[in-house]
Amino acid sequence: MKHTDRHTETVTQSTLQFIKKKGLFSAGQHVIAAVSGGIDSMVLLDFLAKQKDLLKIRISVAHVNHMLRGRESKADEKLVLRTANALGLPFYIKDVSTRQTAQRNKRSIQETARELRYEFFDNLKRSLKADLIATAHTADDNAETMLFHFVRGTGIHGLSGIPVRRDRYIRPFLSATRKEIEQYAKIHAVQFRHDASNQKEEYTRNFIRHSVIPKIIGRINPSLSQTLQRESETFGLLSDFVDTEVERRYDSAVTASTLRIDAFRTVDPYIRHMIVRRLLERLGIEPTFPLIASLLELTEMQKGNKLDITKEWMAVRSIDTVVLQRRSTQKEFEFRVHEASVVTNDDFTFSIRRAQGVKNKKNHHPSIEYIDAAAVTFPLTVRSWKAGDAFIPLGMKGKKKLSDLFGELKYTSEQKASVPIVVSGGDIMWIAGVRLDDRFKITGKTKSIYKLSIEYHGKENGHRQ
């Protein structure tokens, strides 16, 4: 056996070990292989086809033709189709008008291509009732991503790189280098297509790939991809820890769009930064580092100071809070909501649906609530609050006016007007994201459950999924 043969078999075995270590597959699963026609994805397709019996999986092939390179794009498609047929695998394709979509949405072509590609994969997974979607990201891709995020300043989440698994997306080749992929392709005679656009350095990632990484490998670390792969796993663990800590501290420091200063100051400075980031994300505001820094500074200022955030949002420092609020006065709103429905406007999305049980009953975020289905009368009303509104707070017997509750929470008039009030049979059931009425709580006699959710968003984001 030649040296290259042994090397390729080592790549195969190391990839199988990586798959086993990460628990990427289970017997009987249906896996969609995302295949572009380039070397990485064609090798992935060959690898999965050769190992499907060992892994006890079945495979379908998915390809998106972005129609950006004319005949070249069509040739990519034909190669993937021909290979899938030769392997006896089902094949699914979608043509997308990437350039026109990017122009219409005023987004970059690369961004748009990625969104259209993943939209197709997600829809295909649902229609086929598949279990997983496998993409061909390698250790080199991960290194490029980490460096890209580092120079852009995305924090530890960006330094986590490309995850081995995200939802139902898996990356079986994340431990393999591009050189190893090339050697595999050579030994197994894997056909693939060259994309000339991958050489154009006007794309930032190509500049990192062709100009930055080779210099680092040549002068500092010849095993850069492997080193960054290990580092990404370390940062991933750190990121998970921080997320857990932020979630634990968030509810004591934030109510709706208000930072409570006393509770906020008891938190580690880095966790404060991440709490502000999460608050901005939940309000649909881009969490840039300068904006986060300005909001942190505002928490140290005196009452009356303000911060311009966007054309639509501002922040106001009160005695013991920082309130993020819209500039314009909210208009009254009212919706009728039936079972298993979603309603949305410029400011929020509300939904109600059946739930099989309560996940994290004690710790779920205030934007989610679970209620006894037997206590609900449809249609519900989701409306803005009115003078005289009252409810029975969870764990209490008597009623409490919403005006008193809002006063305790130090809500501004804009905040009061923006909170959706969910009403069932004339009774306030939920002050969305704030408090549940005691009459609708889950008890030991509850047989069926509804899950309520509220998501606030910026006007520019529309209905966020």
Which amino acid belongs to residue 294?
Answer: S
Residue from 347, 334, 437, 453 nearest 384 by CA: 334
For the sheet containing 258-260, what is the strand order? 254-255, 258-260, 321-326, 313-317, 306-308
φ, ψ of residue 441 in degrees (nearest 5): -70, 160
Residue from 340, 352, 331 nearest 429 by CA: 352
Tokens for 132?
């997983």
Is the pLDDT at 340 greater than 90? The verdict is: no
Q: What is the pLDDT of residue 359?
A: 57
Span 449-463, average pLDDT: 68
Is the pLDDT at 412 greater than 70? The verdict is: yes
List the domains of the chain with CATH numbers: 3-231 (3.40.50.620), 256-326 (3.30.465.60), 334-461 (3.50.40.10)
Beta strands in 57-177 (DSSP E): 58-65, 91-95, 132-134, 165-166, 169-170
Could you give the CA distance from residue 405 to residue 434 in angstroms, rounded to a whole number?
10
Tokens for 275?
């709490």
Span 378-400, average pLDDT: 94
Q: What is the pLDDT of residue 200?
A: 67
Q: In the predicted model, what is the mean pLDDT of the chain?
A: 89
Q: What is the pLDDT of residue 277?
A: 93
For the sheet containing 348-355, what is the strand order? 341-344, 348-355, 449-456, 368-372
Beta strands in 233-300 (DSSP E): 254-255, 258-260
Is the pLDDT at 202 greater than 90? The verdict is: no
pLDDT in tens, 75-107: 999 999 999 999 999 999 999 999 999 999 888
Q: What is the pLDDT of residue 403?
A: 92
Could you give the CA distance from residue 380 to residue 454 in angstroms, rounded to a whole number?
14
Q: What is the pLDDT of residue 445?
A: 93
Span 214-227, average pLDDT: 93
Question: Residue 405: which region, alpha, beta or left (left: phi > 0; alpha: psi -120 to 50)?
Answer: alpha
Q: Other CB atoms closer than 10 Å to residue 264's CB: what's the count?
A: 21
Is the pLDDT at 141 greater than 50? The verdict is: yes
Percent over 70 (pLDDT), the chain: 92
Question: Residue 70: which region, alpha, beta or left (left: phi > 0; alpha: psi -120 to 50)?
Answer: left
**Helices (H) and strands (E) in the chain — how many of each?**
16, 22
Q: 13 near 176, Cβ under 8 Å?
A: no
Residue from 190, 151, 159 nearest 50 by CA: 190
Q: What is the pLDDT of residue 304?
A: 86
44 Cβ contact list (under 8 Å, min separation 6): 33, 35, 134, 135, 136, 172, 173
Could you give the CA distance from residue 47 to residue 69 in angstroms, rounded to a whole number?
27
pLDDT band at 380 (very low <50, low <70, confident <90, very high): very high
Q: What is the pLDDT of residue 462?
A: 31
Could you give the CA distance from residue 366 to residue 409 in angstroms, rounded to a whole number?
15
Q: What residues does 343 pair with on adjacent strands? A: 350
Is the pLDDT at 370 greater than 90? The verdict is: yes
Assign 165 to helix, strand or coil. Answer: strand
Span 324-352, average pLDDT: 83
Is the pLDDT at 4 greater than 50? The verdict is: no
Q: What is the pLDDT of residue 345?
A: 84
Span 366-371, average pLDDT: 91
Q: What is the pLDDT of residue 201?
A: 65
pLDDT band at 438 (very low <50, low <70, confident <90, very high): very high
Q: What is the pLDDT of residue 461?
A: 33
Q: What is the pLDDT of residue 465?
A: 27
Structure-model confidence comparison of residues 193 and 360, the more confident one: 193
Beta strands in 321-439 (DSSP E): 321-326, 334-337, 341-344, 348-355, 368-372, 380-383, 390-391, 400-401, 421-424, 427-431, 435-436
φ, ψ of residue 151 in degrees (nearest 5): -75, -20
pLDDT band at 161 (very low <50, low <70, confident <90, very high): very high
Could you give the CA distance from residue 319 to residue 11 in angstroms, rounded to a whole number?
62
Q: What is the pLDDT of residue 234?
A: 93
pLDDT in tens, 251-285: 999 988 899 999 999 999 999 999 999 999 989 89
Could you give the CA distance from residue 27 to residue 74 in angstroms, rounded to a whole number?
35
pTM: 0.64
Whether the link from the prior residue into 379 is cis, omega within 30° of 0, is yes
Q: What is the pLDDT of residue 460?
A: 36
Q: Residue 346: CA atoms inside 13 Å, Cβ hemisphere, count?
A: 10
Is the pLDDT at 143 greater than 80? The verdict is: yes
pLDDT in tens, 293-320: 999 999 999 988 999 998 889 999 988 9
Residue found by looking up tokens 């898996």 in the block: 170
Residue from 360, 347, 354, 370 nearest 458 by CA: 347
Span 27-35, average pLDDT: 97
Q: What is the pLDDT of residue 364?
A: 66
Is the pLDDT at 388 greater than 50? The verdict is: yes
Query: What is the β-pairing status of strands 165-166 and 380-383?
Result: unpaired
Is the pLDDT at 72 greater than 70? The verdict is: yes
28 Cβ contact list (under 8 Å, min separation 6): 56, 57
Structure-model confidence comparison of residues 312 and 438, the more confident one: 438
pLDDT in tens, 174-194: 999 999 999 999 999 999 998
Tokens for 219?
């002068």
